[in-house]
Chain A
Amino acid sequence: MDDKKEYIPSILLALFVAMLPHLTDLPLWVVVWCAFMWAYVLVCMKYNRPPPGRLVRNLLAVIGIVGLLLTYRIRIDASAYISLLALMAAIKPLEISTHRDRMITVFLAYFIVITSLLQSETLLAAVYMFISVLVTTAVLVHINDPEGRLRDQFRLSAIILAQAVPVMLALFFLFPRMEGSLVGFTRSGSGITGFSETLRPGGVSRLVEDNSVAFRVEFEADIPDVHHLYWRGIVFVHFDGTSWRYERRLREAADPAGMADHASTYRVTLEPHHSRWLFAMDFPVQIPDSGRMHDDFTVTSQSPVSRTMRYEMKSDIRDHTGETDFPGDAYIRLPVSGNPESRTLAKRLSANKTDTADIVNSVLNYFRDHDFVYTLTPPLAGRNPVDDFLFESRRGYCEHYASAFAFLMRSAGVPARVVGGYQGGEINPYGNYLIVRQSYAHAWTEVWDQDRGWLRVDPTNVVSPGRIASGPEGGLAPGELAGFADKYLAPFSAFIRQARYGWDAFSKNWQAWFEGYSYEQQKAFLERLGISYSYLTGPLLLLMAGIFSVFLFIGAYLFLQLRGKTELPDNVKKRYKQFLQKMSRAGVEKRPGEGPVEFAEKASCTRPDLESFVREITDLYIMLRYSPIPGDDAYLRFEKAVKKFAPMPMRKKQNRSTVKGAKHTDIKKYKKI
């Protein structure tokens, strides 16, 4: 037990920096717990109070674990693991007393840093991880070399980090990638807005204010016209009067290939959205191996998308599927009652019309002629939402139009369904690809017709052509989306836009290289280097076994070496050098050929004011260095004396006047040598 308190703030700093990115993900009580414990440790240190005893610490650990069990129950995901780490990292500083404790706590900080990867793999997160590793390593350097300067400690830390980069890259590219997520648990999906699996009024407009990226698309050829950019996600079939649901029992598409008049190949980098839908441009003909295409032309992946996913697809650019069979009664089914006025309207608009196109046109004309307004803030719907929308408010967002249109079509006996997905996208001039943000979420309708199959009809386009032509903001009245940025930063908006695109292009490449680097990519990469993956596993296993046994040997060697050695003799040297450093600052330099006693004599002559300190330290040093049994506490006393020793720098005048007088008395002190 050496009980050195001065390291605690730096260790807490390392823990804090490591924990910072998790603060928003963890339960509030865990955050408060950490803050309280760390503050308590600092207060203890300041007022020199002893930390709580073993019993209290054990009790705290039990309380923390019980709290976690109550919070998470059986839902053990990344957040639960990180919470456990956070709880323990909060208690650990309470029991820091030895060097070993300090080391363990710093390693705990490294552990917390690495858990960031369980939550996020974005470029920003990675950059932050580098910073926290830098800080943690600097703290590690500090607790092992407390006298060094801060700048040197950070420099050493940076050097170590830089040296680790080649190893990191080699491991990243060559270490076998695991399929599926790390350690088998999923990331917590809290706080991620994604496409919802039911469509109800207000569900899509919520997304419009969310500027985060849903996915990015690189086209092999030119980017198609914006009117073709309908990214279908979910097809909603079942309507219960207020909301639409998708068909859970999807059948696999028979054979999507074959029709490809206007084929376009593109690569999608999909941000994690924690459900299985993959987005495809109308209408997909070729899908990735890991995906499945259904007979409604939606594509799903085998497991929820919890990591950034890259896939390549081929679509045929058209607005109808081509001839299909009658889809079935489900597509004209409506609730038995409700929305009576709408049903009447549908009957009226479809009277005397047999051609589907005519019915569609008459309904679209109805929308066009009756002052419908496209807005983000429609009034709340009542019991008959379609009636309310069509006849009362006439204000709504895309899902209102799609829902009402589909309702009218079904009332008129035309098979119809609502498609949820995204429409449009921003073209990033840096890299020439398409950014589709959450705000591009859209809902449109498809109607069935004997000749053309499913035909895309977008009623929103009739009401607000600007939505399709120039993105979500284009369709709205000016000012409806204006936020802080638009109000105050208008003069810089062009610049900000540029910067944003630049950053997006940068992080897209990051995603492609880092987040999207999967088993398949690694296989491809190695094959490009001429290494067969299966060929590699044998040598890799051997290599790992080799490394393991080398470490085992080193460990055994160190164990045998250090067994029985309690105090390393080098500490004495280190402390004495510190003392010499301090003396040199005080104006007395030790020549290498001088022995400790000679030096002490010289020092006492030059600085008679320091004589007693110099004597004490020199005596202890001689005891430690030369005597057979220095005594149990000699080192501690020596260390303490050296630390306490803080000589004033030498003043020239004072020095000259005292040397003469001091000479006689001081030499007498050491006469015995």
Chain B
Amino acid sequence: MTTERFEHIVERVSGVILGKKPQIRLALACLFAGGHLLIEDRPGIGKTTLAKALARCLGLAFQRVQFTSDMLPGDILGVSIFDQNAGSFSFHPGPIFTQVLLVDEINRGMPKTQSALLEAMEEGQVTVEGETRRLIPPFFVIATQNPLEYAGTFPLPESQMDRFLMRINVGYPGRSAEKAILQGGGTQKKLSGIKPCMTKEDVTEIQEKISAVHLSDTFLEYLQNIVHYTRNSPHFHIGLSPRAGIALAMAARSWAYMHGREYAVPEDLKKVLFQVAGHRLRSRNDRMEIQEARLMTLFSEVPVPV
């Protein structure tokens, strides 16, 4: 039942961004797990389109911020402006007061602006001018970024990276998908044609169900094997944090639930492993990120408890 429901969303989104069903599934898993999503790829691949399509499909309020190097925290969080009629300051909420915030090109913003997102992402609240305001759940940040080597970027600090549950790469479309893109009438029209297939309440309900997905002792043992492996293996600079462990558990739960099960199996974890752990790990040798194939080969050594 649930599987079909999710597949339905996947179908819809992939009507806009063609040939990227695996990425769409992962992105959905991330959002239903209640996590923030980082989409990383070269410009023009369709990162923004994917983010927009997802937001529309889920029927959530949507705001978009384009990060630039001159952007200030107030541009996102909102500012108090003196109202001459009322004779007092009144707060003008920024774009963050929404349900899905698309932060485009997040690594073009200054670190100061980037860290303005931290509190919102972690705690679901913002503090402006000494006053704390709650964000109405569900609240997601979908950020896109260009690969680090591109000009004019400020790399996200590790603490910021750790806030994103998943990072996914979109990648070039396949040959036939690209042909269809070329034949089609442009993305904008299709995007505006997407109708939401669930409500805010549906999303909350699904999130609750996902957090109830059972993780057996054997599963947790495997998860711990993975986490300990990254901490003890000579291949990694720093091992996975407990927060990363929680992220792995949540993502696996979400993946399991989306595939119609109320318990997670090691394969669920493996499917989301690179997306959850990839941006949190660095190679010990060159402090660079590890390629997916290499990372999965390393993880395939971790024994699954029988």
Contacts of A594 in B (CB 8 A): 300, 304
Separation of A295 and B303 alpha carbons in the complex (Å): 88
A-B contact count (CB 8 A): 58
CB of B219 within 8 A of chain A? Answer: yes
Q: Does B204 contact A (CB under 8 A)?
A: no
Alpha-carbon distance between A628 and B266 when the two chains are bound, in angstroms: 15
A311 at the interface (CB under 8 A from B): no
The CA-CA distance from A628 to B256 in the complex, in Å, is 14
For residue B270, which residues in chain A have a CB less than 8 angstroms away from its CB?
A: 595, 598
User: Provided the pairs A593-B302, A672-B259, A673-B265 are in contact, do residues A625 and B214 lie with their beta carbons within 8 angstroms?
Assistant: no
Taken together as a complex, chains A and B put the C-alpha atoms of A267 and B259 apart, in Å, by 89
B302 lies within 8 A of A628 (CB):
no
- The contact string, 1 if C-beta is below 8 Å from chain B, for chain A 625-665, is 11110000000000000000000000000000000000000
Interface core residue of B262, B265, B300 (most chain A CB under 10 Å): B265
- Contact yes or no, A626 B302, CB < 8 A: no
Asked if A27 CB lies within 8 Å of chain B CBs, one says no
Whether B304 pairs with A625 at a CB distance below 8 angstroms is no
A576 within 8 A of B: yes
Chain B, residues 1-35, CB within 8 Å of chain A (1/0): the string is 00100000000000000000000000000000000
Instruction: Knowing A595-B270, A597-B267, say if A673 contacts B216 (CB, 8 Å).
Output: no
B 280-306 contacts with A by CB, 8 A: 299-304, 306
**Pairwise interchain contact A626-B260, C-beta atoms closer than 8 A:** no
A591 contact set on B, CB distance < 8 A: 300
What residues of A have a CB within 8 angstroms of the CB of B260 in the complex? Answer: 672
Q: A552: CB under 8 A from chain B?
A: no
Residue B154 lies at the interface, judged by CB distance under 8 Å to chain A = no
Bound together, the chains give a CA A48 to CA B253 distance in angstroms of 47
Q: Return chain B residues, CB-CB under 8 Å to A580.
A: 306
Given A626-B214, A626-B218, A628-B216, A593 and B263 contact (CB-CB distance below 8 Å): no
Q: Which residue of B lies closest to A592 (CB)?
A: B303
Asked whether A577 is an interface residue with its Cβ less than 8 Å from the other chain, the reply is: yes
Is there a chain B Cβ closer than 8 Å to A596's Cβ?
yes
Tell me if A585 is interfacial: C-beta within 8 Å of chain B. Answer: no
Judged by a CB distance under 8 angstroms, whether B271 is at the interface is yes
Cβ–Cβ contact A626 & B263, under 8 A:
yes
Q: Is the CB of B267 within 8 A of A673?
A: yes
Q: Which residues of B contact A595 (CB under 8 A)?
A: 222, 265-267, 270, 304
Tell me how far the C-beta of A626 lies from the nearest C-beta in chain B, rounded to whole angstroms.
5
> How many Å lie between the Cα of A572 and that of B54 in the bound state?
42
**Cβ-defined contact, A673 with B262, below 8 A:** no
Q: List residues of chain B with CB within 8 A of the CB of A23.
A: none
Chain A residue with Cβ nearest B302:
A593
Q: Is A489 an interface residue (CB 8 A)?
A: no
Inside 8 A of B263's CB, which chain A residues have their CB? 626-628
CB under 8 Å from chain A, chain B span 72-93: none
B214 to chain A, nearest CB (A): 4
Please, which residues of chain B bring their CB within 8 A of the CB of A626? 214, 216, 218-219, 263-265
Q: Is A497 an interface residue (CB 8 A)?
A: no
**Does A62 touch B at the CB level, under 8 Å?**
no
Nearest chain-B residue to A579 (Cβ)? B306
Contacts of B104 in A (CB 8 A): none
Question: B299 to chain A: which residues have CB within 8 Å?
Answer: 593
Partner of A596, one of B3, B259, B265, B301: B265
Nearest-Cβ distance from residue B48 to partner chain A, whole angstroms: 30
Cβ–Cβ contact B3 & A625, under 8 A: no
Which residues does chain A contribute within 8 Å of B40, judged by CB atoms? none
Whole-angstrom CA separation of A343 from B156 in the bound complex: 136
B162 within 8 A of A: no
B105 neighbours in A (Cβ, 8 Å): none
Expressed in whole angstroms, the minimum distance between the Cβ of A564 and any Cβ of chain B is 17
A544 at the interface (CB under 8 A from B): no
Residues of A near B300 (CB, < 8 A) are 591, 593-594
**CB of A573 within 8 A of chain B?**
yes
> Contact between A577 and B271 (Cβ–Cβ < 8 Å)?
no
Which of B299, B303, B304 has the largest number of chain A CB atoms within 10 A?
B304
A625 to chain B, nearest CB (A): 5
Chain A 581-601 per-residue mask, 1 if CB under 8 angstroms from chain B, else 0: 000000000011111111000
A630 to chain B, nearest CB (A): 10
Asked whether B3 lies within 8 Å of A593 as measured between CB atoms, the reply is no
Closest A-chain residue to B255, C-beta based?
A673
Contacts of A672 in B (CB 8 A): 3, 259-260
Judging by beta carbons under 8 Å apart, are B306 and A577 in contact?
yes
Q: How far is the CB of A619 from chain B (nearest CB, A)?
A: 11
A622 contacts B by Cβ under 8 Å: yes
> Shortest Cβ distance from B299 into chain A, in angstroms?
7
Chain A residues whose CB sits within 8 angstroms of the CB of B216 once the complex forms? 625-628
Contact present for A627 and B262 (CB under 8 Å): yes
Q: For B271, what are the chain A residues with a Cβ–Cβ distance below 8 Å?
A: 673
Q: How far is the CB of A311 from chain B (nearest CB, A)?
A: 66
Q: State whether A625 touches B267 (Cβ < 8 A).
A: no
- A628 adjacent to B214 (CB under 8 Å): yes
Please name the residue on chain B nearest to A593 by beta carbon.
B300
Q: Per-residue 0/1 for B186-229: is the Cβ within 8 Å of any A Cβ (1 yes, 0 no)?
A: 00000000000000000000000000001010110010000000
Cβ–Cβ < 8 Å partners of A597 in chain B: 265-267
**Are A576 and B306 in contact, CB atoms less than 8 angstroms apart?**
yes
Residues of B within 8 A of A627 (CB): 214, 216, 261-263
A573 and B268 CA atoms in complex are apart in Å by 21
Q: Which residue of chain B lies nearest to A576 when distances are taken between CB atoms in the complex?
A: B306
Question: What 0/1 readout, one digit per residue, does chain A (611-633) give for beta carbons within 8 Å of chain B?
Answer: 00000000000100111100000
Contact A598 B267 (CB under 8 A): yes
Which residues of chain B are within 8 angstroms of A628 by Cβ–Cβ distance?
A: 214, 216, 262-263
Nearest chain A residue, comparing its CB with the CB of B3: A672
| A-chain residues with CB within 8 Å of residue B3 when the two chains form the complex | 672
What is the distance, in angstroms, from A427's C-beta to the closest C-beta of chain B? 69
Cα distance, A428 to B260, chains bound together (Å): 87
Kindly state the separation between the CA atoms of A626 and B269 in the bound complex, as whole angstroms.
Answer: 13
Contact with B along A555-576 (1 / 0, CB 8 A): 0000000000000000001001
User: Chain A nearest CB: distance from B287 CB in Å?
Assistant: 26
CA distance A577 to B299 in the complex (A): 22
Please report the C-alpha to C-alpha distance between residue A667 and residue B267 in the assembled complex, in whole angstroms: 14
Contact of B259 among A592, A593, A673 (CB under 8 A): A673
In the assembled complex, 8 residue pairs joining A and B whose CB atoms fall closer than 8 Å, in A order, are A577-B306, A597-B266, A627-B214, A628-B216, A628-B263, A672-B259, A672-B260, A673-B259
Closest 5 CB pairs of A and B: A595-B266, A592-B303, A628-B214, A593-B300, A627-B263
**B residues bordering A, Cβ < 8 Å?**
3, 214, 216, 218-219, 222, 259-268, 270-271, 299-304, 306
Other CB < 8 Å A-B pairs besides A627-B263, A672-B260, 11 of them? A573-B306, A593-B299, A593-B303, A594-B300, A595-B266, A595-B267, A596-B265, A597-B265, A598-B270, A626-B263, A628-B214
